[in-house]
Structure 1
Amino acid sequence: MPTPPGRRPRRPAPSRQPLTQELVVETAIGVLDAEGLEAVTMRRVAQELGTGPASLYAHVSDKQELRELMLDRVAAEIRLPERPDPDRWREQLKEVAMEVRRVYTSHRDIAKVSMGLIPTGPHLLAVAEAQLGLMIAGGVPPKVAGLAVDTLGMYIDADAIEDTFYTATVKGDEDPWEHFHKYLAEIREYYKALPPGRYPHIVALVDDLTDEGGAERFEFGLDVLLRGIASYVEDAGGK
């Protein structure tokens, strides 16, 4: 319709993107990546979407479900092997674990959601299925594989969460890892100053205890776990 005399022309309102569960989850992940998990609330996500919190409940039942959906969406980024190779099952299992850690640490403290969560989403189940398939293909007894997939998950979660603890104390524009290296250097000097008669091993192993290689430390712990899992194959007479 034309604008009546004496009135300003109205600008057409921008069309809103239809609200869907996928849009709600993607928006929540955007808040997570920018500010961390605690900032992800129904109210905050609704604000980002330009709507009210009540409209979100048609797509997610509560904040806990939203967090679980976020984690499953993040898990879609994990690259999994196409098929198990019985001769390389340990290497493949290690690669999957490194992939999970890479993805989790790229999304702030999303691993907090994974800790203590029994996976039900399709992408998390795909990760568990891949891990179980690799162990079974390598001759790991089914009972051990079932227990080991949970143990591996707890280790990966804990390591990813620890990364966020180191960076959470950073204030201002300081680089998180520069802050961490500075703090670690202070700890190293403190350990060196300890009385060696009381703490002989700590003083003697200062450099090893305060090694800055976070990825190397994670890989070492992972190798310990994988060797333990592989020992059950040997006990069963496998490879």
Structure 2
Amino acid sequence: MPRPQRITRELLLDAAMQILDAEGLDALTMRRLGREVGAAAAMVYRFFADKEELVEALADRVFAQARQAGRTPDAAPRASIVTGWADQLHAVAHGIRRALLAHPALVPAAVRRPPRQEATLRGIDAGLGLLLAGGLDPESAAKGYQAVLFYTLGFAALEAPFAAAPDGGARDQAATHAVLAALPAEDHPHIAASIDHLYGPDLTAQFDHGLRLLITGLEAQSRTVGAVPGSR
């Protein structure tokens, strides 16, 4: 007779993510998770107080994966960040989007939860560190970091409903493009002039375009702050 597997926090998170990815957030319950690993629900409650805490832990794992993918240091010497902070921030944002879209059912919960888990808090601290080390003052760094983060989370939230589709939402993009392309040019001249560039299939390119605009603005702000006498 096989030995029962040892129940650990990581085992439960692995099983919970499998349920969530396959069947959605509503299917994930403490009882169902216990059955999945061959344990009573009471065992699950030994690790997580309730479903909300479980989902927070899942989201924190995703953000930890995103930080690792973006290779953002938790702490780094100032000199090593100044030359490449914008590139690192760019990589982090792309990492967050990719990690979230790998688990689209988790996105609505991940983007609205308070940042209480350790990996998420370290990610916030590291992101702010990049901007501070790049020369921005604390207020500008905080507002700039939130602008990039909120843009990234919002873009992922808009994409999440389509992420599970085989075409990644390309069909929906094409349908929207077709509706706009069919509009009379005399009634909607600006749409007609821009139609070749509206609602294209490459959402990654669209995300990157907006992200680069944000980061370019932060780079310009950093240079302005650095040029002010007495600023760091």
TM norm structure 1: 0.82
* AA matched with 1:32: L
1:92 aligns with 2:81: no
In the aligned structure 2, how far is the partner of 1:118 from the partner of 1:225?
A: 24
Q: CA deviation at 1:69?
A: 0.6
Superposed counterparts of 1:68-147, under 5 Å: 68-78=56-66, 79=68, 80-82=71-73, 83=76, 84-147=80-143
> Pick from 170, 178, 189: which aligns with 1:189?
178
- Residues 153-162 or 182-191, more deviating: 182-191
Take 1:69 and 1:34, find their aligned partners in 2: how far apart are those partners? 18
Q: Alpha carbons of 1:114 and 1:153: their partners in 2 closer, same or farther (altered >3 Å)? A: farther
Tell me, which stretches of 5 or more residues in structure 2 are unaligned? none
Q: Which has the larger radius of gyration?
A: 1
**Distance between the aligned counterparts of 1:233 and 1:219, measured in 2?**
21
Note closer, same or farther for the CA distance 1:41–1:75 as it changes in structure 2 (3 Å cut): same
Q: Name the CA shift for 1:73/1:185 in 2 (closer, same or farther; >3 Å).
A: closer
Deviation of the 1:226 alpha carbon? 1.3
Residue in structure 2 matched with residue 153 of structure 1 by the alignment: 149
1:6 is aligned to: none
Are 2:131 and 2:145, in contact at CA under 8 Å, matched by a contact in 1?
no
In the alignment, structure 1 residue 18 sits paired with structure 2 residue 1? no
CA displacement 1:5-31 (0-9 Å, x = unmatched): xxxxxxx3x322232322222211121
Larger CA deviation: 197-206 vs 36-45: 36-45
Aligned residues: 220
The share of aligned pairs that are identical, in percent, is 31
Partner of 1:66: 54
Partner of 2:214: 225
Q: How big is the alpha-carbon RMSD for the aligned residues of Structure 1 and Structure 2? A: 2.2
Q: Secondary structure at the match of 2:13?
A: helix
- How many angstroms does 1:167 deviate by? 4.1
Contact 1:32 1:108 in 2 (8 A): no
Q: CA deviation at 1:234?
A: 3.2
TM-score (norm 2): 0.84
Paired position in structure 1 for 2:192: 203
Would the aligned equivalents of 1:71 and 1:114 in 2 still touch at CA under 8 Å? Answer: yes
1:142 is matched by which residue type in structure 2?
A: P
User: Where does residue 32 of structure 1 map in the other structure?
Assistant: 20
Query: Which ranges in structure 1 are unaligned for 5 or more consecutive residues?
Result: 1-11
Query: Which residue in 2 is equivalent to 1:9?
Result: none
Cα offset for 1:220?
A: 1.0
